[in-house]
Amino acid sequence: MNQIEEVISKVSEIMTSQNFIGIGSTRKVYRYKNLVVKKNLHKIGHLQSIKEQEMFRDLNLKGMTQYLAPVLHTDEKLSIQPFYEPLPLKNGETYNIELETDDRSTNELREVIEEIDKKYDGFDLLDSGNYGLDQDGKLILIDYGMTKKLYENEWAPLATAGILPQIYFESCQVCGREKELRIYGENDSDRRCLECGKE
């Protein structure tokens, strides 16, 4: 049994609170050894994983994937990628990376981001939450499947309707700390953070 088959066979054991490492609006992420399992919370999460897999395959043929995390497996429920150390938050929130001045960036990474932006309609490619660090401390793009078209046509209407969460930087009503909160539409009054129980 290879490692991917092992993950798939143990997925219910892996997707537990002690292995949880992150959450977005469409996928929830768990770590297992040197891999991450991204559980789809919405069909858009699956579409993102498919797009990532397609992009990686195409860009690999051009020799442009040194700083791009591959999708090792994807299906309707989850995707699997290598684990990269997540970037720390600044004041409890993600931030835009300055690729031209950040010492962790490389020319190769800047080229692949430009290619994803222009050829694949890439969206939100500077958010620090979409990056990890390799063993040499260089930036690796780990979340790159959202396109402008997918965002505008599918994600944004669902977020406006309160079906998918948007991220707001506010004080949690339970712990009182300012951090990123997941808010479902303008009528969502539950201002708890993830640690205090709101997903």
pLDDT in tens, 43-92: 999 999 999 999 999 999 999 999 999 999 999 999 999 999 999 888 87
The DSSP call for residue 186 is T
Half-sphere exposure of 165 (CA within 13 A, CB side): 23
Angle at 94 between CA 141 and CA 67, to 5 degrees: 10
pLDDT in tens, 81-124: 999 999 988 887 889 999 999 999 999 999 999 999 999 999 99
What does pLDDT average to over the chain?
94
Residue 181, pLDDT score: 93
Bridge partners for 23 per DSSP: 28
Residue 179, pLDDT score: 87
> Encoding tokens for residue 155?
């994600």
Averaged pLDDT, 124-135: 95
* Percentage of the chain modeled with pLDDT above 70: 99
**Computed over its alpha carbons, how large is the radius of gyration of the chain?**
17
| Phi-psi region at 12: left, alpha or beta (left = phi > 0; alpha = psi -120 to 50) | alpha
Averaged pLDDT, 180-184: 93
Per-domain residue ranges of the chain: 3-164, 165-199
Report domain 3-164's class: alpha beta
CB 164 within 8 A of CB 158: yes
CA distances from 124 to 68, 139, 141 (A): 15, 15, 11
